[in-house]
């Protein structure tokens, strides 16, 4: 029976449940992390050599107009008050107005983010479905040709610049062979033929039953997604190989083989089962990295995602859009880490 704690007045009270403590601790950690993210983005907006007032009214405005907009933006208030206003606006989904598009930044992000989500998701799926089996085979046949191939794939994936591979891929598969469509997300002829429901073109075209649009969208996405998937594959296969080698060298694997279990059962039912939890974290991090690190890929392939949106906004001195996109990406990264932690606890009862 759990002991009851006593207050200074001698009254007994029930102990706080362990799950409630963990939930409160996790919530506090997330809140502090997001607050730190907002503080960093706020300070970036203040230290950048860009005058937010001139970015709004232009350089030909009078001093009176400058002073009026300066007060409207709240720049005349103390820095701490400005930060509090900024946090309140972000919590209400208000990132300000984009100078470049003239629309709310939240509306712009809602429009461009599905493109990045679709690209990163397909790239992660490619990396998982190829990288995990490749890593397992490399560990099982350590030192053989499949292991050397996996190492070579990982080495090239970590060494080659992504923009160079993107340009080479466009030259070979689009320019010379004509196997895939060119830059962009969809051909001009197919624009607007499918109603937008999820923002994911492949899903929307399937819902609408329009296979022509689906084929065109798939032809556009397969090359950049394969490129991102290759970099994800290099990381996932390397980590899978490392995890599997650790398990295959364990005593319980030797015991399982001595008992007469088939090699298939030893590898997949015992060794691989024990690395699933570690792979969850690896895959979640790989997915988050693709969501936030696909900037160069989106620029090379003219992919209208959030990476291209942030880059274009930065070149146009549109700091509201840059900071809004940064906050969204950072929040998603934190959310994916929390999700992987929850899955970790679900698959491993010892972590509960």
Query: Per this entry, what is the length of the chain?
Result: 352
Alpha carbon distance 244, 264 (integer Å)? 14
The upper half-sphere exposure of residue 11, i.e. CA atoms within 13 Å in the direction of its Cβ, equals: 3
What contacts 338, CB < 8 A, 6 or more positions away?
A: 26, 30
Alpha carbon distance 289, 228 (integer Å)? 10
Query: Tokens representing 129?
Result: 């479905």
For the chain, which domains are there?
17-91 (no CATH), 105-351 (1.10.3720.10)
Q: Which helix (H) or strand (E) covers residue 12, if one does?
A: strand 12-13
Alpha carbon distance 247, 254 (integer Å)? 10
Query: Tokens representing 88?
Result: 């309140």
Q: Which helix (H) or strand (E) covers residue 13, if one does?
A: strand 12-13
Residue from 135, 153, 131 nearest 271 by CA: 135
Scored b (16 or more CB within 10 A) or e, 74-112 reads eeeeeeeebbeebeeebeeeebbbbbbbeebbbebbebb
Alpha carbon distance 222, 228 (integer Å)? 10
> What is the full per-residue pLDDT of the chain (352 aa) written as tens digits?
445 555 555 555 556 666 566 667 667 777 888 888 888 888 877 777 666 777 667 677 777 777 777 777 777 778 788 888 888 888 888 888 887 887 888 899 999 999 999 999 999 999 999 999 999 999 988 888 888 988 888 888 777 888 888 888 889 998 888 888 888 888 888 888 888 888 888 998 999 888 999 999 999 999 999 999 998 888 899 999 999 998 888 888 888 888 877 888 888 888 888 888 888 888 888 888 888 767 888 888 989 888 888 888 888 778 888 888 888 888 888 888 787 777 777 666 555 5
Q: Which residues pair with 6 in a beta bridge?
A: 12
Alpha carbon distance 181, 174 (integer Å)? 6
Query: Tokens representing 144?
Result: 């053989």
Contacts 24+ apart (CB under 8 A), 58-67: none
pTM, two decimals, is 0.82
Q: Taken in order 6, 12, 17, 23, is the CA torsion positive or negative?
A: negative
Residue from 323, 304, 292, 312 nearest 95 by CA: 323
SS3 content of the chain, % helix, strand, coil (to 5): 75, 0, 25
Please return the burial class of 176, using the count of CB atoms within 10 Å of its CB with bins 0-12, 13-18 and 19+. exposed
């Amino acid at each position: 029976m759990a002991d009851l704690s006593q207050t200074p007045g001698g009254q007994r009270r029930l102990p706080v449940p362990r799950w409630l403590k963990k939930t409160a601790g996790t919530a506090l950690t997330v809140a502090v992390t997001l607050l730190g993210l907002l503080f960093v983005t706020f300070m970036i907006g203040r230290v950048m050599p860009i005058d937010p007032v001139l970015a709004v009214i232009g350089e030909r405005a009078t001093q009176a107009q400058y002073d009026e907009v300066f007060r409207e933006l709240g720049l005349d208030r103390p820095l701490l008050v400005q930060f509090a206003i900024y946090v309140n606006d972000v919590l209400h989904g208000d990132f300000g107005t984009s100078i470049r598009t003239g629309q709310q930044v939240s509306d712009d992000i809602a429009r461009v983010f599905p493109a990045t989500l679709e690209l990163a998701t397909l790239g992660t799926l490619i990396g998982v479905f190829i990288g995990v089996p490749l890593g397992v085979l490399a560990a099982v046949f350590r030192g053989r040709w499949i292991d050397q191939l996996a190492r070579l794939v990982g080495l090239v994936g970590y060494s080659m610049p992504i923009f160079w591979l993107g340009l080479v891929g466009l030259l070979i598969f689009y320019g010379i062979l004509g196997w895939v469509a060119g830059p962009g997300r969809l051909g001009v002829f197919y624009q607007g033929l499918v109603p937008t429901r999820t923002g994911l073109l492949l899903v929307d075209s399937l819902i609408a039953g329009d296979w022509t649009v689906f084929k065109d969208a798939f032809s556009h996405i397969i090359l950049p997604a394969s490129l991102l998937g290759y970099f994800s594959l290099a990381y996932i296969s390397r980590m899978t190989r490392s995890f599997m080698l650790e398990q295959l060298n364990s005593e319980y694997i030797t015991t399982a083989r001595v008992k007469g279990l088939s090699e298939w059962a030893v590898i997949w039912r015992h060794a691989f089962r024990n690395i699933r939890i570690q792979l969850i974290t690896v895959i979640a991090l790989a997915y988050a990295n693709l969501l936030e690190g696909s900037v160069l890929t989106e620029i090379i392939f003219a992919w209208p995602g959030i990476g291209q949106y942030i880059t274009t906004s930065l070149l146009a001195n549109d700091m509201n859009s840059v900071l809004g996109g940064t906050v969204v990406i950072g929040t998603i990264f934190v959310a994916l880490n929390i999700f992987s932690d929850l899955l970790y606890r679900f698959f491993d009862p010892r972590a509960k």
